[in-house]
Amino acid sequence: MLKYLFAKNEDIPTGTAAVFFGFSSIVWFVIGTGLGSFNAAKLAFPDFVMGNEFLAFGHLRQVHVHAVIFGWISMAFAMAMMYITPALGNTKLWSEKLGVWNCFLWNVGLSLGLTVLWAGITSGREYSDFPWFIDLYIALFIAIPLSLNVWMTVITRRTQGIYTTNWFFVGACFMLIIVFLIGNLPEFFHLTGLTEAYLTWWFAHNVLGLWITPVAAAIAYYTIPKVTGNPLYSHRIGHLHFWSVVVFYSTPAAHHLMSAPLPEWLKSFASVEGVLILVPAVAFVSNILLTMQGKWNMFVENLEIRFTITGCLLAIPLNMQGGFQQTRAINWYVHGTGWIVAHAHLALLGFSTFLEGAAVYLGLQTLMKRKLYSLTLGNVHFWLLLIGFAIYWISMTIAGLIQGAGKIYEVPYIDVVIAEHPYMIARWIGGTMVFISNVVWLYNMWMTAREGTVVPAGRMPHELAYER
């Protein structure tokens, strides 16, 4: 990588930035889920590793969250953007060199940010935990260069229109910058009190709703038509999806603070808008599933399709939960329980991770022109990930329902802690399977780079047969 930082733009091979981003994201995935599994072990066995401040749960929890969100998910997005945006514009990435620098500065900044959080230096605001200098770094050296590259690639495209995926990319980059700068205003300008608390959740909600969800969906709009060869079922529905994300997903932030004394009209408004999030969700899932018509055999036979469709199917329970758990009728029961942790992992480890996984598989094989090293290892990755996630989700959902019941029936707190214990152990086992699956994936991708069969020019990797 270092040698490309100072090379001339023309001398950097096409796709370099995307390949670096792809491998970085997998490495962060391994680190992030490893930390997740460590934290889960601490919640199941509180005396597992003790006496050291830097291995304490309170110091490592936020490191896990930010490693997976900014390391795995967002870097996989960057990889997808640097590969898909030029491919859809029939052109090259606007600046490969900017891309390589972006990746380098991203890794440096993220390592720095996580170290600071690890040491306990935080803004004390969930999801925007990074202190303000890290926030500024992220805006200036991570988000803006990435967006610039995506926007300029779209502007310099050699096609007449812009395909669905690219609108989403262009729009989401813009929204990410806005959300980052506005969501962190309390830290820049010392805002306090409820305003600060509300902006914290405005940030948390919108970074998920205007960055992670739309970009993940946009990736599926590319992968499914590309690999199956079917055209997208409907561009109109794609429009509906895009506009309803902008209108409905950007407004319900207050549903995270239903039990705080925010203005009542705001809470009611948020609740209604939150149910309307079902509009983009239904539009997306139906559009993708209908695109699969006649090609359902690929759901079984093709790894990338299997990942993408699994992610889309997981979006169904995700949005059903999301739409209803935030209404007052249900929120008072599940708020603050393990149910929400299960929901967060259904969104990020279920829905979104599976879609990005497919993009990274497809992108790395295409750009390196190498066929995946081993299908068996790919299958092992898929199943361990899915089963591990399912164990996690089911166990935390049950734990959440127990906590909810304990809450309303005023059960002494410690009895709730005792009742949850088996599910904490199950969560740890499930999460550890996810971690192991990612180690397998990293090995498989590394071997693909070194020993995968070369894909001949003009062919797609999925057209070749697997060898192992």
Partner 1 sequence: MNFREYKVGARLFSFALGSSMVITLLFPAMEMGAAVATDIALDKQLSAGRETGFNYDDPLMLGWGKPSKVLVSADPVSGQPIPATYAYVYPAGTPFPSGILHPRTLGSAGAGLSEKVGRVGEAQKKSGAVFLIKSDEQKHFYIENATATLGWAPDAVLKAALDENVAHVGAGKTQFVREGCWWCHTLLPEQTQDWQVFGAPPMLGDFNGESPTAFGSDRKAPDLLHVASRNSSKEWMMLHFFNPRLVQPHSIMPRYDYLWGEKDATGAKIDFNKWRAEYTEYSEGKRADAPEVPSFAKDSRIRDLVDFMLSLK
Residue 417 in contact with ligand HEC, rule: CB under 6 A: yes
Q: How many residues of this chain bind ligand HEM (CB under 6 A)?
A: 24
Going by C-beta distance under 8 Å and a sequence separation of 6 or more, which residues neighbour residue 270?
251, 252, 253, 254, 255, 326
The beta strands (E) that lie in 186-274 are given as: none
Site for ligand HEM in 15-44 (CB under 6 A): 33, 36-37, 39-40, 43
* Residue type present at position 150: V
Sequence-ordered alpha helix ranges (H) in 292-412: 297-301, 303-325, 328-334, 338-345, 353-368, 375-408
CB of residue 454 to ligand HEM, shortest distance in Å: 31
# residues contacting ligand HEC (CB under 6 A): 6
Q: Contact with ligand HEC (CB under 6 A): which of 133, 243, 296, 413?
A: 413
State which residue, 72 or 83, has the beta carbon closest to ligand HEM. 72
Contact stretch for ligand HEC (CB under 6 A) within 47-55, 367-375, 411-419, 457-465: 411-419
Burial level of 134, CB count in 10 A (0-12/13-18/19+)?
buried
Binding to ligand HEM (CB under 6 A) within 316-345 occurs at 340-341, 344-345
Least Cβ distance, residue 350 to ligand HEC (angstroms) = 24
Among 58, 231, 261, 456, interactor with ligand HEC by CB under 6 A = 58
Q: How far is the CB of 438 from ligand HEC (least distance, A)?
A: 25
Cα separation, 431 vs 410, in Å, equals 31
Tally of CB atoms within 10 A around 189: 9
Q: Which of 236, 231, 221, 270 is nearest to 250 (CA)?
A: 270
The 3-state DSSP class for residue 459 equals: coil
DSSP state of 378: H
454 φ, ψ (degrees, to nearest 5): -70, 135
Indicate the residue among 413 and 446 with the shorter CB distance to ligand HEC.
413
Question: Which positions ≥6 away from 108 have C-beta within 8 Å?
Answer: none
Question: Chain centroid to CA 349: how far?
Answer: 7
Place of tokens 């089963």: 387
- Choose the contact partner of 431 out of ligand HEC, partner 1, ligand HEM, none; CB within 5 to 8 A by kind: ligand HEM
* Between 266 and 282, CB nearer to partner 1: 266
Q: Which is nearer to partner 1, 193 or 231 (CB)?
A: 193
Distance from C-alpha of 16 to C-alpha of 83, rounded to nearest angstrom: 10
Of the candidate residues 414, 457, 458, 465, the single one contacting ligand HEC (CB under 6 A): 414
CB 384 within 8 A of CB 436: yes
- Spell out where 62-182 has E strands: none
Distance CA(153)–CA(166), nearest Å, equals 10
Instruction: Name every residue whose Cβ is closer than 8 Å to that of residue 236 and which is 6 or more positions away in sequence.
Output: none
Instruction: Note the maximum CA span of the chain.
Output: 68
Which partner in partner 1, ligand HEC, ligand HEM, none is near 151 (CB below 5 to 8 A by kind)?
none
Q: Which of 212, 446, 232, 247 is nearest to 352 (CA)?
A: 212
Nearer to partner 1 by C-beta: 2 or 192? Answer: 192
Residue 449 to residue 365: CA distance in whole angstroms: 8
Residue pair 258/201 in contact (Cβ under 8 Å)? The answer is no
Pick 56 or 162: Cβ nearer ligand HEM:
56
Name the binder of 408 from ligand HEC, ligand HEM, partner 1, none, CB < 5-8 A by kind.
partner 1
Could you tell me the smallest distance in angstroms from the CB atom of residue 415 to partner 1? 9
Q: Pick one of ligand HEM, ligand HEC, partner 1, none as the site partner of residue 192 (Cβ within 5 to 8 A by kind).
A: partner 1
Q: How far apart are CA 8 and CA 206, in angstroms?
A: 38
49 binds ligand HEC (CB under 6 A): no
> Of the listed pieces 222-230, 325-333, 335-343, 412-420, which binds ligand HEC according to CB under 6 A?
412-420
Pattern 361-400, binding to ligand HEC, x per CB under 6 A? Answer: ----------------------------------------
Pattern 71-110, ligand HEM, x by CB under 6 A: -xx-------------------------------------
Q: Which stretch binds ligand HEC (CB under 6 A): 103-111, 363-371, 403-411, 413-421?
A: 413-421
- Please choose, out of 115-123, 132-140, 256-264, 423-431, the segment that lies near ligand HEM by the rule CB under 6 A: 423-431
- Considering beta carbons, is residue 106 or 435 the nearer one to ligand HEM? 435
Taking the CA atoms of 313, 256, 400 and 329 in sequence, report the sign of the dihedral they define: negative
- Which CB atom, from 58 or from 193, has the smaller least distance to ligand HEC? 58
User: Tokens 């906590």 sit at which residue?
Assistant: 403
Binding-site ranges for ligand HEC (CB under 6 A): 43, 57-58, 413-414, 417
Q: Which residues bind ligand HEM (CB under 6 A)?
A: 33, 36-37, 39-40, 43, 61, 64-65, 68, 72-73, 340-341, 344-345, 348-349, 353, 427-428, 431, 434-435
